[in-house]
Copies of this chain bind each other. A is one copy, B any other.
Amino acid sequence: MHYTHLVFYIFERIHFEVFWIIMNRTYKQIQQITLAVDCIIFGFDTNKLEVLLVHRGFEPEKDRWSLMGGFVGNNEDLDKAANRVLCDLSGLENVYMEQVRTFGKANRDPYERVVSTTYSALILKKDYRAELISEYRAEWFSINNLPDLIFDHKDMIVSAIQRLRRRVRTVPIGFNLLPEKFTLPQLQKLYEGILGEQIDKRNFRKKLRTMDFLIRLDEKDKSQSKKGAFLYRFDEKEYNKAKSFNI
A115 located at the interface, meaning its Cβ lies under 8 Å from any Cβ of chain B in the complex = yes
CB pair B29 A74 closer than 8 Å: yes
A32 located at the interface, meaning its Cβ lies under 8 Å from any Cβ of chain B in the complex = yes
CB pair A75 B18 closer than 8 Å: no
CB pair B30 A71 closer than 8 Å: yes
Q: Which of chain A's residues 1-52 have a Cβ closer than 8 Å to chain B?
A: 3-4, 6-7, 10-11, 14, 17-18, 21, 25, 28-35
Q: Which of chain A's residues 107-142 have a Cβ closer than 8 Å to chain B?
A: 113, 115, 117
Q: Within the complex, which residue of B7, B18, B34, B76 is in contact with A28, where a contact is CB–CB below 8 Å?
A: B34
Q: Which of chain A's residues 65-112 have a Cβ closer than 8 Å to chain B?
A: 71-81, 99, 101-106
Q: Whole-angstrom distance from the CB of A85 to the nearest CB of chain B?
A: 12
Most chain B beta-carbon contacts within 10 A, residue among A17, A18, A28, A31: A31
A34 to B77, CA, bound (A): 13
Chain B residues contacting A77 (CB-CB under 8 Å) are: 104-106
Q: Whole-angstrom distance from the CB of A33 to the nearest CB of chain B?
A: 5
Chain B residues contacting A14 (CB-CB under 8 Å) are: 10, 14
Chain B residues contacting A80 (CB-CB under 8 Å) are: 106
Q: Within the complex, which residue of B4, B29, B33, B102 is in contact with A33, where a contact is CB–CB below 8 Å?
A: B33
Chain B residues contacting A25 (CB-CB under 8 Å) are: 21, 25
A35 to B33, CA, bound (A): 7
Chain B residues contacting A76 (CB-CB under 8 Å) are: 106
A35 to B115, CA, bound (A): 9
A125 to B22, CA, bound (A): 43
Chain B residues contacting A31 (CB-CB under 8 Å) are: 34-35, 71-74
Q: Within the complex, which residue of B11, B34, B72, B105 is in contact with A78, where a contact is CB–CB below 8 Å?
A: B105
6 contacts between A and B (CB under 8 A): A7-B10, A31-B35, A33-B35, A80-B106, A99-B102, A101-B102
Given A30-B71, A31-B71, A78-B115, 17 new contacts (CB under 8 A): A3-B3, A21-B21, A28-B28, A29-B74, A30-B74, A32-B35, A33-B34, A33-B72, A35-B115, A75-B106, A75-B113, A78-B102, A78-B103, A78-B104, A80-B106, A99-B102, A104-B117
